[in-house]
Structure 1
């Protein structure tokens, strides 16, 4: 098969012929139709988050099951599925407690070593040398993943666009539903209107938020957030964002603030925007070791909550998101602003690094070059 391989930090995404993988017990192999272009991949690409190289990135996919390993139930060859970036083992203490977003083998094996849970990768280059897998290694024509990481698409949804359910919207759903525990009518602010930020806007709208305030420094991203459900926007390049949000909320601030950038400045900004007694849900990933400041006295006296959120729970949340999309509560097509071919993977990630992609871009495997 063909896959986009990264061999050196900040090196090119080079499309190579690599050996076809094969699923083992409890796993499925998917013919990838589409893979989302996510900023988290860039932290691996530039070395700001440690991960073994060479590797195949890409961690939100849609496609068709072409082979199943021993013991797989519930999915079969020919099923159209979405694969989640969090790949639960189903048996560790966290998975058993229903906290599969904290699956122990996922972090110990996949995120640290680039392997699946027997300690081995399923990907090898043409010479037989191992290639690390970031999640399922979605920037390839075939991807192997634990069957528990995938959910079958309902017939009424297309195959391509739901790829973004596997990370952008799964991350948003986990933050809004499980961590923020958003209540109907509450005011939400979303700091950062990229692919994940606009997904938070969509999920917050679907789950009953009142006002939804998108905060960014780019007018085109704020326009995209408005199209996807933001009721108000604040351009942080034009003035103090905290003042602007408080003006929109009659001095109160937002009940819940989602930070979707991962920068120290926006982390601090989120704590300044939130209302007294409110919740700051931090979603943006930063380079390893990066820290941020918060005003201690305001945190204590005003009873602010600062909460981390890393994705959702694939077995329950992917089907929930699919139902929301099928019911018209999520606009998958509108969330995707650009489409690239596999041969254009390096261009796609260069554009993402430069900040010129609005919303979410995807790689379509069968698209003509």
Structure 2
């Protein structure tokens, strides 16, 4: 293994949403951690929010928070768990639970206290330090496992083995797009067979929610987006109807398609005030709105109090799945064909073209999900 690796480095919001390829030392795992040779990393809007300065995060940094790859080393005194050992092909989830805090102890990996306090606020792992540095010693913050690099250090609790037969590069999206969707559908919404669903915004996560809602036995599934191309893709993945909100009143259209009642569950996957408020208005009496999209800055949305009370509506946030139990479940669904990584991944970029990938994402050109591969 080489001493150095290529990484896409974000230098800070002052330079805007740009990445530069640098050669930096290969990181070394500590106890409870694993070194992964990265095959691919997904292209997610959350990274783009960071790059645009819409989500606070220290810089310089290496972003990228959903990966696939192979384990090449375990940290000192690290015991293999759940089949994660040297030589194993793995998927890494963006929520990296410590396994020890009170939230992890009660099974709420998605609320891991050190993950939010250390990684999301400071760009470090749980000893308070980053594993990444430039050759001159300058520390580089890590967004999750910092997957936009040829090697990545990942807490072992955030990894699960990848089954044979799942394309390794496309499998990277199982760690965020599919994993986030699984948490929204099964943990937060607790979707029941026959329930009607609206999915507002059909990107990587929205496309995944369509597939998982269909697999969970949802009744009518309505996809909402401003792109006819994305709506057509959603229908191929299992949506019954597509509503173009740029040309149609999406709330009225959803109500019409449900006989005037509205849907049992609306998933909002964009994180914008307008779509957040629309999703609430799409609900039937007793319905649940599951907010999945990360918003820019301190964005807020308004909800009418009286309808919320009288109609017994519920508005719930859903950041992701519960890593140790849900990541293996997501991989199983991909292995069984219930979730298709091949149909969800529509573009592949090289690491050298990582900046182009995020530019295309910012322009709204990527249908489903794109991945960045580390192969030259």
Q: TM-score, normalised by structure 2?
A: 0.96
Question: Do residues 7 (structure 1) and 19 (structure 2) align?
Answer: no
1:340 to 340, 349, 352: 349
Q: Counterparts of 2:228 and 2:167 in 1: how far apart (Å)?
A: 30
Asked if the contact 1:190–1:258 (Cα under 8 Å) also holds between the matched residues in 2, the reply is yes
Q: 1:304 to 1:11 in 2, by over 3 A?
A: closer
CA-atom RMSD in angstroms: 0.9
Asked if the contact 1:189–1:214 (Cα under 8 Å) also holds between the matched residues in 2, the reply is yes
CA distance in 1, matches of 2:337, 2:298: 40
Name the structure 2 match of 1:90.
Answer: 99
After superposition, the Cα gap between the structure-2 partners of 1:309 and 1:11, relative to the gap in structure 1 and judged at 3 Å, is closer
Match of 1:24 in 2: 30
Among candidates 171, 174, 178, match of residue 183 of structure 2: 174
Alignment match of 1:58 (pick from 49, 64, 69): 64
Number of aligned residue pairs: give it: 367
Q: Which residue of 2 aligns with 1:72?
A: 79
Which of 136, 153, 157 pairs up with 1:148? 157
1:355 aligns with 2:364: yes
1:335 deviates by: 0.3
Correspondences of 1:181-330 after superposition (within 5 Å): 181-330=190-339
| Secondary structure of 1:18 counterpart | strand
**Residues 260-287 of structure 1: CA deviation (Å, up to 9, x unaligned):** 0000000000011111110000000002
| Cα deviations by residue, 1:213-247 (Å, 9 ceiling, x for unpaired) | 00011111111111111111111112211110111
Give the C-alpha shift of residue 156 in structure 1. Answer: 3.0
Cα distance in structure 2, aligned partners of 1:234 and 1:11: 31
Residues 17 and 48, structure 2, Cα contact 8 Å, conserved in 1: no
Unaligned stretches of 5+ residues in structure 2: none
Distance 1:348 1:64 in 2: 23
Q: Residue 51 of structure 1 contacts residue 112 of structure 1 at CA under 8 Å; is this kept in 2?
A: yes
- 8 A Cα contact 1:27 1:72, kept in partner: no
How far the C-alpha of 1:158 sits from its partner, in A, is 2.8
Pairwise CA distance, 1:126: 2.0
For residue 73 of structure 1, report the CA deviation from its aligned partner. Answer: 1.8
Deviations 1:110-146 (A, max 9, x none): 0000000000000001212100000000000000010
Query: 1:11 Cα shift?
Result: 4.5
**Would you say 1:99 and 2:105 are equivalent positions?**
no
Aligned residue for 2:29, secondary structure, equals: coil
1:159 matched residue in structure 2: 168
1:53 and 1:332 map into 2 onto residues whose CA distance is 32
What displacement does 1:204 show? 0.6
Who is 2:44 aligned against? 38
The answer to whether the 8 A contact 1:92-1:104 is kept is yes
- Counterpart Cα distance in 2 of 1:2 and 1:228: 35
| Structure 1 residue ranges without an equivalent (≥5) | none
